[in-house]
Amino acid sequence: MNVGIDIEEVERFVKYVRDKKFLERIFAKEEISYSIPRKNVAQYLAARFAAKEAVWKALSTRNKKFTIADISVRNTKDGKPQVYIKNKKYKRIDISLSHTDKYVAAVAIAF
Ligand SMILES: CC(C)(COP(=O)(O)OP(=O)(O)OC[C@H]1O[C@@H](n2cnc3c(N)ncnc32)[C@H](O)[C@@H]1OP(=O)(O)O)[C@@H](O)C(=O)NCCC(=O)NCCS
């Protein structure tokens, strides 16, 4: 079992909200469409970015054949975040996200 954690400042992501090129390079289309309608778009993008880093850390001991941009989060209809790698659900990991106005955090446990 391996754990990964990440914390991000929401402010860092404000400038990216209108940068379509950046968004499409880093985030999956599902992550963009989940975040864009929100009142605080930067907060949701930051959470998804933190998720990628936490997952990357949790999988650090595994032989990775993907990049951080290949990791994405999609929420179930109950709101639970789930990890996808290269658009395929990655079942051997669990993730949890939390937001405040200024910070977001993500924890991932790979098993
Ligand atoms: C999960 C819950 C406790 C979040 O607590 P909170 O203090 O308001 O908010 P936090 O910032 O700490 O957490 C938000 C994150 O919780 C996660 N989350 C939401 N629902 C979740 C669930 N059912 N299970 C696990 N994680 C969940 C999400 O990742 C969310 O961030 P995201 O929308 O960017 O993906 C709260 O939303 C809740 O009680 N949900 C119950 C289920 C529900 O009513 N879902 C509504 C779906 S429309």
Nearest to 93 by CA among 84, 102, 104, 80: 84
- Model pLDDT for residues 2-40, shown as the tens digit of each residue: 999 999 999 999 999 999 999 999 999 999 999 999 999
The predicted model scores a pTM of: 0.91
Spatial strand order in the sheet of 88-89: 71-75, 81-85, 88-89
From the CB of 49, is ligand 1 less than 6 Å away?
no
Residue 53 near residue 45, CB atoms below 8 Å: no
Q: Whose CA is nearest to atom 40 of ligand 1?
A: 79
C-alpha 79 to ligand 1 mean position (Å):
6
Q: Which of 13, 38, 52, 80 to mutate to test the pocket of ligand 1 (most atoms within 8 A of CB)?
A: 80
**In the chain, where are the structural domains located?**
2-110
Using the atom order of ligand 1, give the atom closest to the CA of residue 43: 34
> What CATH class does 2-110 carry?
alpha beta
